[in-house]
Amino acid sequence: MKNVSKNGLLAIVIVSVTLLSSCKEYRMYDDKEIIENSFTGTINGTTLGEDPYGDFTGGGDSGTYSFIWINPQQKASANFDITTNTGSVQMILNDAKGKEVLNVTRSAGSNDTFSGVSEEGKEGKWLVTLVFTDFNGDGSYSIHPGN
């Protein structure tokens, strides 16, 4: 360290702090903490240990519902289904670094059920987002740590 200048040492510290903090994108939030709830319909979220699930209903409602989920794995298994005459629901999963690892939409008139596995991401606190657009119907979601 004798040969490292003060500016060089400062640069090393800044890079180290940046790398450490980028691994904890959602570190300031608690597990299952709701980040946004602008959905004008009804949503009931429940948890079973590591496996959050919930139900939702809407009468032409729109908005976003998002929460933090601690995923101990690098992937997630996600399921959601809707019964609707109009509108859509989009599920987005972002890993602990903020990288989008799943983005799927179900709309009226299309296959109303999704069951699949996310891309690989960083384990830790993930952001789960449901985006409702003119949603008129009901549905449910569940998420589980995946392999």
The number of distinct structural domains making up the chain is 1
Select from 104, 107, 105, 103 the least CA-distant residue to 136: 107
Report, as an integer, the average pLDDT of 68-75.
Answer: 95
d(C-alpha 33, C-alpha 92), whole Å: 16
Residue 19 lies in a domain: no
Residue 9 lies in a domain: no
- How does pLDDT run across 2-48, given as a tens digit for each residue? 554 555 444 443 433 333 444 467 888 888 888 999 999 998 877 65
Query: Do the beta carbons of residue 82 and residue 137 sit within 8 Å?
Result: yes
Residue 61 lies in a domain: yes
27, two tokens: 């570190």
- How does pLDDT run across 47-60, given as a tens digit for each residue? 656 899 999 999 99
Residue 66 lies in a domain: yes
**Between β-strands 100-107 and 113-117, what pairing exists: parallel, antiparallel or unpaired?**
unpaired
Specify the range with the lowest mean pLDDT, choosing from 69-73, 109-113, 133-137. 109-113
| Residue 72 CB partners (closer than 8 Å, separation 6+) | 50, 123, 145
Its pTM stands at 0.81
Please report, for the domain that includes residue 68, its CATH number: 2.60.120.380
CA distances from 52 to 47, 107, 126, 127 (A): 4, 22, 12, 12
- With a pLDDT cut of 70, the percent of the chain lying above it is 80
Residue 94 is part of which domain span?
A: 26-146
